[in-house]
Structure 1
Amino acid sequence: MREWTAWLLLWLCLCGRGWALSSGAPNGTCASMTPRHTGSTPQSSPPPYTVTPSVRQVARNGKLTVALASPQGLPIHGFLLEARAPGSDEAQGAFTSYPDTAKTINCNGRYASAVTHKDASKKNSLTFEWTAPDEDIKTFIFRATVVQDFQTYWTGILSEEVKVVEHPEVSTDHSTGISTTRNPVKSTTEIPVIPEFPDPKAISEPLNPIYEGCGTTKACFGPGECLATKSCSMMVSVLDRVEDYEFEMMADSALYVAVGLSDDGSMGDDSVVECVYDATNTAVQAYRSSNAPDDKANFRDEKPFEGITLVNHSYINGRVYCSFRRQVVTYTNNKTYDLANQPFFLLLASGTSLKDNNIGIHSAKVSTSSAKYLSDVTGWTAASKVLLRLHGAFMIAAWIGTASLGILLARYFRQTWVGTQLCKKDLWFAWHRMLMVTTWVLTIAGFVIIFVELRGWSQEDNPHAILGTITTILAFIQPIGAAFRPHPGTRRRPVFNWVHWFIGNSAHILAIVTIFFAAKLGKAELPVWLDWILVSYVVFHVVMHLVFSVTGCMSERHSASRIDSFPMKDIASSRMALQTDRKHDAPFTCLRKVLLGIYIVIILGLAVAIIVIVALAPIEESYETFSRWLKDA
């Protein structure tokens, strides 16, 4: 008898642990929404969970989705979710779609008016479909209770208000002329919002719903810090709907936007979905494609529509947008992509280059810094571009900074600081050699860095890579030739001088042209107005060379007039005077030094400015982030 009594007491204790660790909330808890946990009380701290409806307006009998999640990624073991009118304790509406780990209960005699857990398994973000009732109720608020463990739970977790209107807001796809409601009446499936995109520079959250839920109910990713300011030039979001995954993508000034699932964060052997604007049919279509493992080219899959469903699309003011749903498990090129159980890097790209049956070269491309599960809604950051920025900074410092100054010294300052030496070499030559060795080191370092970053040859349709390689080869052989230069006065010395001059100046000119092409690379993310700074450098550099050439001619004439002033009978002494004159600085030395000081200040200023623009690219986003930091400070 005692044994049966003990088993009975144990069973009662287990039942008394309440609905959080069993099979869900009973109907009797609909009003209080409080677990029947013996000896425990709700937490008084702010809840680490959020309830987020997909829209803020709904029609009678209209549908919407609501998400329950923790921004910190905390687990959910039990929950109860209802929709109520303000001030009421009665559940309204009906939950018509829910995950396999959930079930509905009938509160207040209303069918499926609340949803709760089916078991005590660990859950992350959850999404549900809810249908508004056909009653005269103007506003609803979703209310939730979430149980983290037996002793830890929060009640009264509220969503923002959802208004019931006769005619929900309508957004029109200008490319097709089709209007869709944000909350379709009596629709069997939810139709997400088609964003109405204004001028990209005037984007704000109310006008661009793609940002709603980022970091709370869905994962979002874009370049730099654009998500914080809701000003992304391109972005992608991923919502775990349990039965599938819903992606949203957009890109400014583009004809396509694409997202790839990658194992290593680099382009190659990836599964891609691309949304492409078809100008002929004035519509956006979604296709499955793949990145080849070897040559990194992109090609359409044999069944480009298999496993994906296009939900919404638009092309407005140069912005391409689409949302599509992808099956949890798909197969591509003998590889399985399990979105629920595999972590992935996200590759996001956009561009304007299109081919007959696939997309072309990307104008912009960015990848995540690490592989993550798509159900993880936080921590999606862009991969570091330190090597890319170092490459640009090194090349700018080398060819706009040290090379420009080194060439100038060698050409115009041989007869300046005569008699002054550094390391037993004439001062002009010592500085020329130091500056050109620095140019050589920075160029070789930058060349190696970019190959490490790209892991191969650049795929962009831009001559920057070819011109940069030629420049690097010329720069590499220049000091080798200088090391074997003939002695002054020998027969081959003039030949060396001309070859050395030609290779050095050719490398410098090619380097500047290469930098101009670099400003057009999508990966560099440089502003279009950088061209004006580069043009300013070229103009200033050429003008200063002309000025130094004029001062050189003036100096030579002044020296010649001094020699010609000797009478014929003193020709011997005049030759001696010429030799003596070469031991002193040439005329107008003071002017040349002043001009050199001006040249150094301007050139270094331009080089530093361009390096800052390259290092902080995209500079507009960096400026906005800095301004926001100053404002907050």
Structure 2
Amino acid sequence: MAVQLIMDVIGYSDQYKSLTLVAHDDRPFIGVIMNVHVADTDDLVGRFLSYSDNKTKTGSCSGDSMNYITHANNLAVTKMEVTWVAPEEEIGDVTFRATFMELFDLFWINVKTDLISKLPLSAPVKDKEGDDQTITCTYAKGKSTFQYGINVIEQNYRQSKRGRLTQMTTSYRDGSLYCSFTMPIVMNATDESGRTVTYDLHNPYHVMLAWGRLHEGTDVITKHDELPIQSINKIHFDAVEIHRATALPLITRIHGILMLTAWILFVGVATVVARHYRPMYPAKLVCGTKVWFQIHRFTAITVFIFTAVSFVIIFFKVDGLSDHVGVHSWLGIAVMSCVCLQMIGGLLRPSPDNRVRPVFNYLHWGIGKSAQILADMSFYDCENPSALIGQEVFHKIRKNASKSSEELRHYCISSDS
């Protein structure tokens, strides 16, 4: 008799798993014991939630409750269905093991499934990514592992196909981990919905490298320590070439440069001029308006153009909004909305003697300050190096702007007189 463990899917990401224990040719069995182990260990994990009351019961081992299931009587059956629930914490790959008994002197031991991934893992995803093939090498306490998976948006799903990797070697020297392996030219990966993606290395791909830590006592990866680096160009795997890599793609760098220039340089100039330089050159007009207002208007329009261009290019890069939009994206949308309101308000600005002019002034000031605060918050939420540099420059400008602008204002007024 051949006995099998049949699962509803091969890989999964939810905590609950339904299994069917079935015998070929409808031959009955009278006994069974089954449990779930962390891959390549004897550690039992999880618990069995539901089972056939008339045939099976749960038991406790190693202090945990309901972590194995066994027969409650010697009634003969040809199929059993059970549900297992995984622990809440990450534990990596697991395997289901069972022993079946047809007769008291005829039984099968160590019937098991392939390695199963218990839960989706944190993965280094910083750009618009999806359907990325991943190969992970880990090392902890003298033990190394290789893992094969697929990145979908912001999650990595480990597969049970690591065996297709061959010639795997690792070494850990002077704080550095060295890994090498051989993989097939064509490999598949399946996400949590059961969708299969095929990777064919006859085609060029970008290559990304990320590094980080493991959850204590496991081979489960945590979020990467730093921004992953990605090859600037797609790599042809049948060629021997030297490639450059960067942690920030060109479009992302352009987005950051435009935003930093707009909200540190031009917003700073527009604010300081409107606040401190109105008395400057009181008798001079440029195109019919005072000098300070022309500078203020020019810098404000520049902020709008830079913000709009930056917003549009990054919006197209990430293919619009998705279910996984982060705080930084929402802050950017809010900033863009405020800038648009400011531009509309500038076009509809009432004359100085209009009775609604005070209302306009308060709204103009309030929306402008809100935009500055939101932009500042977006710098803090962004996890790339250009944003960190921007934060430092931003605070230094804020710290010295008042003193410097006052000195410059006095100089300009004295020179004009």
For 1:257 and 1:467, the matched residues in 2 are separated by: 24
For 2:172 and 2:204, the matched residues in 1 are separated by: 30
Counterpart of 1:330?
Answer: 187
Do 2:263 and 2:375's aligned partners in 1 also have CA atoms closer than 8 Å? yes
- Aligned-partner SS, 2:359: helix
- Code of the residue aligned with 1:539 in structure 2: it is K
* Aligned mate of 1:274, from 122, 128, 136: 136
Counterpart of 1:373?
Answer: 236
Do 2:379 and 2:390's aligned partners in 1 also have CA atoms closer than 8 Å? no
- Number of residues of Structure 1 aligned to a counterpart in Structure 2: 286
Backbone CA RMSD of aligned residues: 4.0
Give 1:335 deviation, angstroms: 3.9
Do 1:277 and 1:315's aligned partners in 2 also have CA atoms closer than 8 Å? no
Larger Rg: 1
Counterpart of 1:290?
Answer: 150
Which deviates more from structure 2 when the two are superposed, residues 323-332 or residues 450-459?
A: 450-459
For 2:171 and 2:123, the matched residues in 1 are separated by: 12
Do 1:258 and 1:272's aligned partners in 2 also have CA atoms closer than 8 Å? no
Counterpart of 2:6?
Answer: none
For 2:414 and 2:376, the matched residues in 1 are separated by: 26
For 1:458 and 1:594, the matched residues in 2 are separated by: 56
- Code of the residue aligned with 1:398 in structure 2: it is A
Give 1:427 deviation, angstroms: 1.7
1:522-564 Cα offsets, whole Å, 9 max, x none, are: xxx449676544432221124446x47xx9xxxxxxxxxxxxx
Instruction: Specify whether residues 419 and 594 from structure 1 end up closer, same or farther in structure 2 by C-alpha distance, changes over 3 A only.
Output: closer
Percent pairwise identity: 25
- Aligned-partner SS, 1:345: coil
- Code of the residue aligned with 1:437 in structure 2: it is I
Do 1:289 and 1:298's aligned partners in 2 also have CA atoms closer than 8 Å? no
Q: Which has the higher strand share?
A: 2
Give 1:297 deviation, angstroms: 3.1
Counterpart of 2:158?
Answer: 301
For 1:439 and 1:528, the matched residues in 2 are separated by: 20
1:486-539 Cα offsets, whole Å, 9 max, x none, are: 322333211111111111122123323433444x42xxx449676544432221
Counterpart of 2:400?
Answer: 540
For 1:359 and 1:425, the matched residues in 2 are separated by: 58
Task: Extract unaligned runs of 5+ from structure 1.
Answer: 1-255, 260-264, 552-588, 597-633
Instruction: Specify whether residues 490 and 282 from structure 1 end up closer, same or farther in structure 2 by C-alpha distance, changes over 3 A only.
Output: farther
For 1:364 and 1:458, the matched residues in 2 are separated by: 22
- Code of the residue aligned with 2:275 in structure 1: it is R
**Could you tell me the TM-score, scaled by structure 1's length?**
0.39
For 1:432 and 1:375, the matched residues in 2 are separated by: 57
For 2:301 and 2:278, the matched residues in 1 are separated by: 19
For 1:594 and 1:375, the matched residues in 2 are separated by: 71
Do 1:298 and 1:359's aligned partners in 2 also have CA atoms closer than 8 Å? no
Do 1:395 and 1:446's aligned partners in 2 also have CA atoms closer than 8 Å? yes
Kindly indicate whether residue 368 of structure 2 is the aligned counterpart of residue 510 of structure 1.
Answer: no
For 1:443 and 1:372, the matched residues in 2 are separated by: 33
Do 2:214 and 2:221's aligned partners in 1 also have CA atoms closer than 8 Å? no
Kindly indicate whether residue 282 of structure 2 is the aligned counterpart of residue 418 of structure 1.
Answer: yes
- Code of the residue aligned with 1:366 in structure 2: it is I
- Aligned-partner SS, 2:379: helix
Do 1:311 and 1:325's aligned partners in 2 also have CA atoms closer than 8 Å? no
* Aligned mate of 2:172, from 314, 339, 356: 314
Paired residues for 1:146-545 under 5 Å: 267-278=129-140, 281=141, 283-292=143-152, 296-303=153-160, 305-309=162-166, 310-314=168-172, 317=175, 319-333=176-190, 334-339=196-201, 341-351=202-212, 360=223, 363-382=226-245, 385-456=249-320, 463-518=327-382, 520-521=383-384, 525-526=385-386, 532-544=392-404
- Aligned-partner SS, 2:315: helix
- Aligned-partner SS, 2:148: strand
- Aligned-partner SS, 1:271: strand
- Aligned-partner SS, 1:285: strand
Do 1:402 and 1:438's aligned partners in 2 also have CA atoms closer than 8 Å? yes
1:310-364 Cα offsets, whole Å, 9 max, x none, are: 41143864x544333323443323344344x444332333345879966546732
